[in-house]
Structure 1
Amino acid sequence: MGRRGGAGGRARAAGPSLPVHRREYVVMNLQGLLAKSRPREQLTAHLAATLDGAIALRWRVGTVSALDEATDGLFWAAACLAGLCHDAGKIPDGFQAMLKGQIKAWGERHEVVSLGFLPALIKDDHLLLWTATGVATHHRSLEGGRGPLLLAYGNASDTEWRDRLQPIPQNAAVELSIWLHGTAQGAQLPTTPDPQHEFDVIGEARQLFDSLWQWWEQPASHKRGLAAVLLQGAVTLADHVSSAHGVMHMRQPLDAAFRPQLERVLADKGHQLRPHQSDAAATDGHLLLRAPTGSGKTEAGLLWAAAQVGQISTETGGIPRVFLTLPYLASINAMAVRLGRLLGNDDLVGVMHSRAASFHLAGAICPDDEIAAARKAVSRAAATRLFRETVRVGTPYQILRGVLAGPAHSSTLIDSANSVFVLDELHAYDPRRLGYILAMAGLWEKLGGRIAVLSATLPDALADLFRTALEAAIQVVEADTTDTPLRHRLGLRDRHLTDPKSVEEIRQRLAEHEAVLVVANNVADAQHLFAELSPAVDEDAAYLLHSRFRRMDRSALETAIGKRFGVGCGRHPGLVVATQVVEVSLDVDFDCLFTSAAPLEALLQRFGRVNRIAARPPADVIVHPATFAPRRAQGPDFADGVYPRTPVESGWNILSAYDGEPVDEAQARLWLDEVYGTAWGQEWHDEVERHRQEFTDAFLGFAHPFISRDDLAERFDELFDGTEAVLAEDRDAYEADLHSADGDQKAGRLLAERYLIPMPYWAAPLTTWEKKLGVRLLNADYDPRLGLGQIRGPAVQAYEAGEVL
């Protein structure tokens, strides 16, 4: 492609001068220009609102030193100017005809036309190129992906550009340029209007597009490439907020007032801050917190977060966002409710996961008007997707998606700059996911973030990995467990959890009117045990909980379990059989536990569901050996088809020395250190580091920031996202809900989602795709109390029940 007018200079195309004295001409020519058709929105109104959104984002994020260094301090000026000018290119007659319904599609890209308004506005070549970067990339990639700009316009001649993008109403273009000048000056943006500038929108756009591509054609340094992606994110976010007429919260409720507020809440209950909570609140910088379940670990993390908010705000002038991440959806939902109560307002907390709208619907639904409730829930979830709240609870993977960059994901990255991250209960035994989170934590730090890791079971090996991943020092705070009451007594058995003798022992505890928790490693074992044990108690006192329920049934089960076995709900006999979804998903309290062997971290989490607040003498936690076998005919052994053999065996061998003894939670951490100190622990460490480097190389380079990353998105989804399916027998009910909200597709889909059953990503071949409804259908047995049963769909021979967690 020929290059003209590089970064150092721009030839001027012939055209009329700007009639800056013709102010009375402004209103007449711009009134009819639209930015949106549904709802109809005037172009200048949308541009002004997007500028307002960029300015608000600048105030909220504050100064990011890494970006200022990469852009010579021009980052926010470029973001605001790009927000102001991003849709100026919607002025051509073809685009306006499309918005007004006169033609079906224009077929060209308005953002390349928008470039033509910049040279008259910005004389500084460096600022011009950064601003052009934000304008050109707010919808499409330059290369790769869907409709890349370089393929569409890079080799087109001047004549082709004009033939494709004209006609443009010249008087309106001049008038819009005058309006842009005045608006930029009113916002105190660094512009230098030139009344004598010769104005040719398409000619200027063509030359600037060539200069822009020349600027980004060569690999960028890490800081420059990262700054480019974050600029794209800032412009895209401002545009989306403007289009949705949204408002971002400009206050962080976890601030200096949070500590005295929490102290008052505790005092009302006769309590005060514990030493580890005070130590966390006094920490300046990254934190590793070890504290047992029931010791106020979450409150310690929030106190730390509030302290970091104040420090980051002072340093950057921004309003830091606080992200609390947990591994399971149910625990996220419970934390959002809990945090809303602590802060005195549920509206201050965003829920950041794929089923956020369902969470809001469950909390707000009214039997008399569920459609209205669905609309409200959709709106609330959409506001969170637009980064409205400054406190958000979710999985780590929703934030990690920002590395996919591009117009769809780069906003997540700019929103995470100068933020506070509280990572609760990371699972060390999953080395790939842990490696990816460690890599991302390093990026958050570079963007001014501070990270805390909270865990009741934090081994030294994991602490060392975080020290490697982060450059700044990390302070370790440990709860004093000297006077901590012993909550559990360990018991080991020599038979599998499903063995008839095991079942009989559990029945005896049920006959003694105890609240009994049984945790199996896979769905098949859990369903078998429930069928064996549930007849021993009343129907309304027996529950099965795993991940393969329809959403509405899972929600009803969790609610019922919480009411009967929740902390503070009194002592009620009964039975819950579950898989590992119970480990951190419910605030429940049982009299005893029977569990399959698993990695020590998982076992300690399961122990934590028993005698939760140490209100009774040590309660029995009974561990049964797992069955080891390959998942298929060959390959390594897994415990009950789920966990790698070596860490499970190592944990079992350690526990064997303490059979029949109370569990000292301080000692439990030393057990973990022993597991990770083995040869397997070194292999685990090396694998985590390998995955950290893999993620860094694949996602965090940004040498070519505007080449599409669509190919990486599928890899990401396979790792972090599952799929969902609707039972064939529910198909008609699903379709009826889809169309139940009077044309409101989002509200209708939310109501229909009650029928969805989560499936692992690899299980998609077990389903068929229903194109009309946009959903997978699953031919299988199902019972509201038992969940998903036998699958009769395609590729059923590939299904192993033990593998579906």
Structure 2
Amino acid sequence: MTDTTIWAKSASHGGALSLFEHTRHVMDVTAAIAGALKFDERLAVLGAAIHDLGKAHVAFQRKLTMKKSQLQDPNQILHRHELSSLGFLPLLPREDWPAVIDMVVAHHKPIRQAAQAADGFGKGIIDLDKRSRTWLADHLEGWEDWSPRALAVLEELGITTHAISRIEAEEAIRFALAHCKAKGYGWSAERGLLMAADHFASALTDKAKDQLSLLFKEPKLEYFNRPHELYPLSLMAADQPQRHTLVVASTGAGKTDYLFRRCRGRVFYTLPFQASINSMYQRLLKTDEEKPFGGSIRLLHATSQLVENRGKVEEQLQSLVGASVKVLTPHQLAAIVFGTPGFEAVMLDVRGADIILDEVHTYSAQAQAMVLEIVAALRRLDCRLHIGTATMPSTLYAELLRRLGGPAEVAEVQLAPDVVVSFDRHQVYKVARDEDDPAGWPLETDEILTQAFAVGEKVLVICNTVFGAQKQYQRLRELFPEVNHLLLHSRFKRGDRAKREKRLEDEFNNPKIPGPCFVVSTQVVEVSLDISFDRMITEAAPLDALVQRFGRVNRRRTEDTIGKFKPVHVLAPGPSYLPYGAAEIKASYAQLPDHGGILHEQELQQKIDAVYPQLQPWDISTHVIWDGERCRLRELCNNTRSVLVDALQIESSACILEKDQEKYEAKDTPWQERIQLEIPVSWRSMRPHLGKYCRSDVGALPFVIPGNKHYEELGLLFDEHDIFLEN
């Protein structure tokens, strides 16, 4: 590189990279994506070629070397490099301008942002036109000096150029402004294409080209065609002519394989919880080793990069487009419903793919409303949807069937009644609470555990809250000090939780390692974790959640286990029903058998419908960008991420321990290590403590929690004295 090199990125923003290198990478990726998605490849590559030429502007080059304090200088012009890039439109035929403008003008900021901008001022082209009389002149300042250098980059990239006068450049930007002002409602595939390619190229830089042959490659899923008498769904046909699928089948019936057998193209597999997603991802990696899919497998959730251990490239690929199989949460698809940043790229990524929505019944009312909207949005994108669940209220089933287009469009799959009987496997015992201590756990549970451990059983204990799990774990650990034990809940550091989940799978769930042992957990173990215990003690919960919890007991289906039953003990509802509603817990408890009665799978639907007689979806209509087939969002615009938070009430915060603060805030601590130190906590749980703790001004701005000398055993404690009483 020379002193005259035009830089696209500085060393402090992902590594020094020249404009030539970055543009070449983006052009390569754009060509590959355009070819896979049937875009006009010539036009797409031209848009990629000019998208960042405005970075040659002296203001941008100067900004790359500035400190944060200097960026606040009021004398600095407000420069958006993508707007300066529009000055190079005269290199293209006039008929190409509209499509290229759509690619370039909003690949970082929407064209109109003022109403949503955090500082009250948007930075899109329409915003700047309203707030500044000099914005156009500012973006072409020094044009005669820096535009030839930008043109030289294009020439080096093999693109024929010619000199562009300032008048021509100004006319081009004014054309782009008028084009943007005339935009109606809808979404821009061109914007999504450039954003997807830019993100991909920026993440992988010179390694991007090695991945292009795998982009949008359909996987080979023959592995899942493996009939076995123990798994009745594996014996059922999966070649029905309907596009979509609704499967209701007992846990262990082979539902995962069946859902994959229904897929015809690239697959997005969604699950609600991080632990279950990680488990499914590892399962698919092992499957791929045994019989390769012939494409890429990726994982995506809030901390998925901490789980990926196959190398830096695989880590960077997780959030990018074009995977053959991707395991993720529905929240990662929510952008297509709420129009949050990058939603156009997500729409291009999923368009025409197979989407598996597994365990759809396990969502809150807010998240369930989101899933219903996602179903509608995915149908608009010509996706094939395959929905699976162990239990589902009839009202929810009917609504999903309607949104999928009815029986003519949906293959409805259920097990025959005589087959369902073979999945009975749990004896239910209700455990009354002590009248003198209704909030505590009765002595009967200690007697149950004593007898279970005496015969070497593995016991799973589930509490409804983190605080409850911490108290029970401490009590049981002291009561049974010789028994191997584990505590698992959400308030561990992200890195520590991943280790505990692995220990749960490798040690406590390993049939080669005998009991006795006990695991105390919250509902994080409810869904799709392939674990099997001998016995369970659980607090009362909604019936659908209880069924999922029971599914972690006597899970392994063999010729020897069919017709055999294992015990589950359910505590009567206590004085607190958090985090659930009192009515649904009481109704659910009333539906359970007692005194060792069998929970019959054939009766589950009737019991579920008794608890949930009506569908009560959360109203998120004011946040959704779709009204039937009509998009209510202006093209080249997007909503802020706060819309998703407001609609679903999922706002969360992060905490760190005081002892980790110095490391967390150190300048040389990589972001990956910072994330591993964070402890996620919902805002609902944080609100009672907001006045107690200071916040770090680094990273996720976590609350700094002092004390917690017992963290290694119990996880985060806000009030230690509630558990550890002074003597």
Q: TM-score, normalised by structure 2?
A: 0.83
Change (3 A) 1:693 1:661: farther
Q: Take 1:579 and 1:240, find their aligned partners in 2: how far apart are those partners?
A: 37
> Secondary structure at the residue paired with 2:518?
strand
The residue aligned with 1:241 is 200
Q: Take 1:297 and 1:732, find their aligned partners in 2: how far apart are those partners?
A: 47
Q: Is the 8 A contact 2:193 2:345 kept in 1?
A: yes
Q: How does 1:466-481 map to 2 (within 5 A)?
A: 466-471=400-405, 473-480=409-416
Instruction: Name which of 291, 304, 328 aligns with 2:273.
Output: 328
The residue aligned with 1:70 is none
Q: Take 1:142 and 1:570, find their aligned partners in 2: how far apart are those partners?
A: 60
The residue aligned with 1:666 is 602
Q: Does 1:771 pair with 2:689? A: no
Q: Is the 8 A contact 1:108 1:164 kept in 2?
A: yes
* CA offset digits 1:595-650 (Å, max 9, x no partner): 12211111111111111124442111122221255xxxxxxxxxx22111222222
The offset of 1:769, in angstroms, is: 0.9
Change (3 A) 1:208 1:457: same
* CA offset digits 1:534-586 (Å, max 9, x no partner): 34434461222222223343233323332333164454222122211121263
Q: Does 1:354 pair with 2:317? A: no
Q: Does 1:507 pair with 2:445? A: no
Q: Is the 8 A contact 1:402 1:410 kept in 2?
A: yes
Q: Does 1:426 pair with 2:391? A: no
The residue aligned with 1:566 is 509
The residue aligned with 2:578 is 641
The offset of 1:523, in angstroms, is: 2.2
Letter in 2 for 1:203: E
Change (3 A) 1:463 1:79: farther
Q: How does 1:728-747 map to 2 (within 5 A)?
A: 728-735=658-665, 738=666, 743=668
Letter in 2 for 1:491: Y
Q: Does 1:121 pair with 2:95? A: no
* CA offset digits 1:481-502 (Å, max 9, x no partner): 6242531112223336712333
Change (3 A) 1:205 1:650: same
The residue aligned with 1:394 is 328
Q: How does 1:61-100 map to 2 (within 5 A)?
A: 61-62=37-38, 79-96=44-61
Q: Take 2:646 and 2:382, find their aligned partners in 1: how far apart are those partners?
A: 25
The residue aligned with 1:53 is 29
Change (3 A) 1:456 1:77: farther
Q: Does 1:294 pair with 2:252? A: yes
> Secondary structure at the residue paired with 2:591?
helix
Change (3 A) 1:62 1:469: farther
Change (3 A) 1:655 1:184: farther
Instruction: Name which of 714, 717, 722 aligns with 1:786.
Output: 714
* CA offset digits 1:147-192 (Å, max 9, x no partner): 23323234655x763365221237954983995899679xxxxxxx
> Secondary structure at the residue paired with 1:421?
strand
The residue aligned with 2:372 is 438
Q: How does 1:249-268 map to 2 (within 5 A)?
A: 250-251=213-214, 257-259=220-222, 261-263=223-225, 266=226
* CA offset digits 1:767-802 (Å, max 9, x no partner): 42112564321235333222223438xxx9xxx99x
Letter in 2 for 1:419: A
Q: Does 1:211 pair with 2:174? A: no
> Secondary structure at the residue paired with 1:279?
coil
Instruction: Name which of 641, 666, 678 aligns with 1:756.
Output: 678
Q: Is the 8 A contact 1:276 1:478 kept in 2?
A: no
Q: How does 1:510-659 map to 2 (within 5 A)?
A: 510-539=453-482, 541-566=484-509, 568-569=511-512, 571-584=514-527, 586-614=529-557, 615-616=560-561, 617-629=564-576, 640-656=577-593
Q: Is the 8 A contact 1:35 1:46 kept in 2?
A: yes
Q: Which structure carries more helix by proportion?
A: 1
The number of residue pairs the alignment matches comes to 679
Any unmatched runs of 5+ in structure 1?
1-28, 64-73, 186-192, 310-319, 365-375, 630-639
Letter in 1 for 2:33: L
The residue aligned with 1:704 is 634
Q: Is the 8 A contact 2:109 2:124 kept in 1?
A: yes
Q: How does 1:125-144 map to 2 (within 5 A)?
A: 127-143=96-112, 144=114
Q: Does 1:719 pair with 2:653? A: no
Q: Is the 8 A contact 2:493 2:676 kept in 1?
A: yes
Identity of aligned residues (%): 24
Q: Does 1:494 pair with 2:454? A: no
The offset of 1:202, in angstroms, is: 3.0
* CA offset digits 1:440-488 (Å, max 9, x no partner): 2211111121211111113322221212333472221123462425311
Q: TM-score, normalised by structure 1?
A: 0.75
Q: Is the 8 A contact 1:78 1:134 kept in 2?
A: no
Change (3 A) 1:61 1:566: farther
Q: Is the 8 A contact 2:88 2:164 kept in 1?
A: no
* CA offset digits 1:686-743 (Å, max 9, x no partner): 434x3467535699844323445237447359733522211113323545xx55xxx5
Q: Take 2:378 and 2:582, find their aligned partners in 1: how far apart are those partners?
A: 34
> Secondary structure at the residue paired with 1:118?
helix
Q: Is the 8 A contact 1:276 1:480 kept in 2?
A: no
Letter in 1 for 2:243: G
Any unmatched runs of 5+ in structure 2?
none
> Secondary structure at the residue paired with 1:725?
strand
> Secondary structure at the residue paired with 1:340?
helix
Q: Is the 8 A contact 1:494 1:625 kept in 2?
A: yes
Q: Take 1:299 and 1:254, find their aligned partners in 2: how far apart are those partners?
A: 20
Change (3 A) 1:481 1:333: farther
* CA offset digits 1:359-392 (Å, max 9, x no partner): 12xx57xxxxxxxxxxx45x53322122353211
> Secondary structure at the residue paired with 1:703?
coil
> Secondary structure at the residue paired with 1:482?
helix
Q: Take 2:173 and 2:503, find their aligned partners in 1: how far apart are those partners?
A: 64
Change (3 A) 1:120 1:547: closer
Q: Take 2:363 and 2:170, find their aligned partners in 1: how far apart are those partners?
A: 58
Change (3 A) 1:733 1:481: farther
Letter in 2 for 1:665: E
Greater Cα offset, 588-597 or 410-419: 410-419
The residue aligned with 1:12 is none
* CA offset digits 1:649-704 (Å, max 9, x no partner): 22222224x6532222232233213333x3xx2xxx2434x346753569984432
Q: Is the 8 A contact 1:237 1:411 kept in 2?
A: yes
Q: Is the 8 A contact 2:233 2:258 kept in 1?
A: no
The alignment yields a C-alpha RMSD, in angstroms, of 3.8
Q: Is the 8 A contact 1:108 1:165 kept in 2?
A: no
Letter in 2 for 1:353: H
Letter in 1 for 2:450: R
> Secondary structure at the residue paired with 1:169?
helix
Greater Cα offset, 388-397 or 329-338: 388-397
Q: Take 1:353 and 1:100, find their aligned partners in 2: how far apart are those partners?
A: 34
> Secondary structure at the residue paired with 2:182?
helix
Q: Take 1:256 and 1:150, find their aligned partners in 2: how far apart are those partners?
A: 43
